[in-house]
Amino acid sequence: MKTTDTPPADAAEQRSVVAKVQAPPERSAHSSEGKTLNVFSHGMLILWAFMVVLPLLWAVMTSFKDDKSIFSSPWSLPDTLHFENWARAWTEAHMSDYFLNTLIVVGCSLVGTMLLGSMAAYVLARFEFVGNRFIYFLFVGGMSFPIILALVPLFYVMQNMALLNTLPGLILTYIAYSLPFTVFFMTSFFRTLPTSVAEAAFVDGASHTRTFFQIMLPMAKPGLISITIFNFLGQWNQYMLPTVLNSEPQNKVLTQGLVQLAVSQGYKGDWSGLFAGLVMAMLPVLAAYIVFQRQVVAGLTAGALK
């Protein structure tokens, strides 16, 4: 019996030894490939970070220099912080007025865009009716329509409505410009939300309006924050629409003010004030993204995770 039981045991031991010997090279090969890919991806991210961050830091550093230092030593740190550059840009270049106009226009247009866009998206996502898909594809088609093709007819429409060169006219234009992407994004997001919560609210006697504002809209908070940030970036940096529709000096927005600051000095050129105004226009955008970056990522990935 001992002679018959021994060979199978030896064969099993040999197979286990062979498996143990062969397993580590496979794991080491996979780990080496993963390390190489990890190093490459991190290297590309670091390179991209330098490409994005260094120009921003250089603009902030230059805004505290005088004009002579900007040209004589553009890459060196300022010897003295010239805060008068910011004061001059804020007062003499009327950046304060442009900043206030931009806050009014962007703030009101964001509220209108998110209110109208979220309500339209909720109806298109949750209710079936005749023309639902047609209306949805109209909004999607608005995303592919170049805004430059609508400038001439838009100019005459605003002129006939007595809204040309006014802040309310610019607000309405911004809302119409941002609605297609807002409705497209929020429709997809509302479709990922569970219907059982809304059905429970209807059973308890809640109206459609109450269900939307008190239940569905808070559940869509990640998507709302994400699309609000995107609309804020687009509207804050918008230059073409205000240039065509808003030529009154007292109603100009920040982008128009920066261009006027760059070209109004003639041969003199207030470069230090220009960089100060540039940083002023840039800081709100950076602050908004830094504060809400987690919500933006959560909103973009929420649909995929669900």
pLDDT tens, position by position, 147-181: 888 899 999 999 999 999 999 999 999 999 999 99
**Residue boundaries of the structural domains of the chain:** 2-62, 84-305
* Encoded tokens for 176: 């119409």
Task: Label residue 1 by pLDDT band (50, 70, 90).
Answer: very low
Q: What is the pLDDT of residue 28?
A: 55
> What region does 129 belong to: left with phi over 0, alpha with psi -120 to 50, or beta?
beta
Q: pLDDT at position 306, please?
A: 47
Q: Percent of the chain at pLDDT above 90?
A: 28
Calpha distance 141→62 (Å, rounded): 43
CATH architecture of 84-305: Orthogonal Bundle (1.10)
Report CA-CA distances (Å) from 201 to 10, 25, 43, 124, 306.
69, 59, 51, 19, 22
Instruction: Count the residues in the chain.
Output: 306
The pLDDT tens digits for 258-274 are 888 777 665 566 788 88
Nearest C-alpha neighbor of 176 from the set 243, 99, 222, 241: 241
Q: Which amino acid is at 84?
A: E
Q: Supply 280's token pair.
A: 């002023």
Compute the distance between CA of residue 174 and CA of residue 117 in angstroms, rounded to an integer: 13
Are residues 144 and 216 in contact, defined by beta-carbon separation less than 8 angstroms? no
Average pLDDT, the chain: 83
**Minimal CA–CA distance to 110: which of 234, 214, 15?**
234
Could you tell me if 116 and 181 are in contact, meaning their C-beta atoms sit under 8 angstroms apart?
A: no
